[in-house]
Amino acid sequence: MPTISGVTQQIFGRKPGRGLLLTGLAIILAFVILAVFAPWIAPYGPTERSVPSSLAASPQPPDRNHIMGTTELGYDVFSRIVWGTRIVLYVVAFSAILSMAIGVPLGLVSGFYGGKLDRILSMVMDSIYAFPGIVLALAVASVLGPSPTNAAISLSVVYVPTFFRMVRGQVLEVRESLYVEAAEALGYPNTHIMLYHVLPNVAPTILVVFGLAATDAILTEAGLAFFGLTVSYPSPDWGLDLRVGLRYLDQGAWWATLFPGIVITLLALGFALVGEGLGERYAIRTER
């Protein structure tokens, strides 16, 4: 079984993809810090009227007190971004972990035991996979109703097949290997083969898919938020702020859309770099 020091060695060791991996992790870490320490980092509350009421009727450009400007209701854009990190990370982490927790075991079992179960599962997963992610997530989220948790669940529906397909493919490959045949000839139970041969071999793949799913989840979450399917205004959420900001973009208030857009892209980039870095390290080809 992999040890803690083995894992750190795996991530930080001088191997291909190290730069990508570390950059990605640094970006993600920065956002995690924002989320955890939001009350100390954000100068204002997310729905605090931070400008004198005489100015509150129109969005104000960035100045010394509001480095990213304010919205038409006088909310501080920077503070809303900081507080909004919490929702985004919650939804993204929840959906990526949930889809992994469902997709990985299903892929393992399906690839390992084959037969009828495998055929049915593959068919179901393939048909989900065939839908465009955002459309599927929107459909599921509208059925479940707006809430961050429901948004996370609808995103999971999109990514379960990705985990399933990658893991199942790897399992089929490992299952063909001679050392699995040798393990069977020594009378080892399936649990041994899963735990010692299949899982260690699919672990890097799982990490790469996790990075991909999280990247996609950030963008799709922003989409769901845009349509009001995560939180309701004025709760802070990057995607939602982007849409509200659009309303007064034509008044020249570029800051209310630009900054939320930048952080969405940046966090997505962080996860993408992690996925790419791991992919390069383990020479894993991915589709999606």
Partner 1 sequence: MESVVRLEDVSVHYYTFTGVVKAVDRVTLDIPRGEFVSFVGESGSGKSTLALALLRLVPPPGRIVSGRIVFNGMDLLSLPEQKMRELRGKSISMVFQDPMTSLDPVRKVGEQIADVYIEHGVTTDMEEALKLAREALEMVGIPGDRVNYYPHQLSGGQRQRVLIAAAVALKPSLLIADEPTTALDVIVQAKIMDLLEDLMKELKMSVILITHDIALAAERSDRIAVMYAGRVVEYGPVDAIIENPLHPYTRGLLESAPDLWGEKRIKGIPGNPPDLRNPPRGCPFHPRCPRRFDPCDKDEPEYVKVDDRIVSCHLYTR
Residues 168 and 173: their CA atoms lie apart, in Å, by 9
Among 182, 232, 251, 262, binds partner 1 (CB under 8 A): 182
User: Considering only residues 200, 246, 251, 262, which one is a binding residue for partner 1 as defined by CB under 8 A?
Assistant: 200
Q: Residues near 3 by Cβ (< 8 Å), separated by ≥ 6?
A: none
The nearer residue to partner 1, 49 or 175, going by C-beta atoms, is 175
CB of 203 to partner 1, least distance (A): 10
Residue of 90, 131, 188, 227 that binds partner 1 (CB under 8 A): 188
Alpha carbons 76 and 253: distance in angstroms, whole number: 13
Q: For partner 1, give the closer residue by CB, 130 or 178.
A: 178
189 binds partner 1 (CB under 8 A): yes
Q: How far is CA 231 from CA 87, 166, 258, 276, in A?
A: 9, 32, 20, 31
The one among 145, 186, 252, 287 contacting partner 1 by CB under 8 A: 186
Residue 187 carries which side chain, given as an amino acid letter? G
Of residues 118 and 237, the one with the C-beta less far from partner 1: 118
Stretch that binds partner 1, among 12-20, 77-85, 86-94, 187-195 (CB under 8 A): 187-195
Please work out the total of residues on this chain that contact partner 1, with binding judged by CB under 8 A. 18
> Does 13 sit near partner 1 (CB under 8 A)?
no
- Residue 49 burial (C-beta neighbours within 10 Å; 0-12, 13-18, 19+): middle
Q: Which of 242, 285, 196, 253 is nearest to 80 (CA)?
A: 242
Q: Does 197 bind partner 1 (CB under 8 A)?
A: yes
| The two structure tokens encoding residue 164 | 């399933």
What are the structure tokens assigned to 240, written together?
């939602």
Q: Whole-angstrom distance between the N-terminal and C-terminal Cα of the chain?
A: 30
CA dihedral 100, 101, 107, 109 (to 10 degrees): 170
Residues 91-120 that bind partner 1 (CB under 8 A): 114
Q: Tell me whether residue 118 or residue 216 sits nearer to partner 1 (CB atom).
A: 118
Token pair 């007064």 is found at 248
Among 90, 131, 196, 233, binds partner 1 (CB under 8 A): 196
Mask for 152-181, x = binds partner 1 (CB under 8 A): -------------------------xxx-x
Is the CB of residue 248 less than 8 Å from the CB of residue 256?
A: yes
Q: Which residues bind partner 1 (CB under 8 A)?
A: 114, 177-179, 181-189, 192, 196-197, 200-201
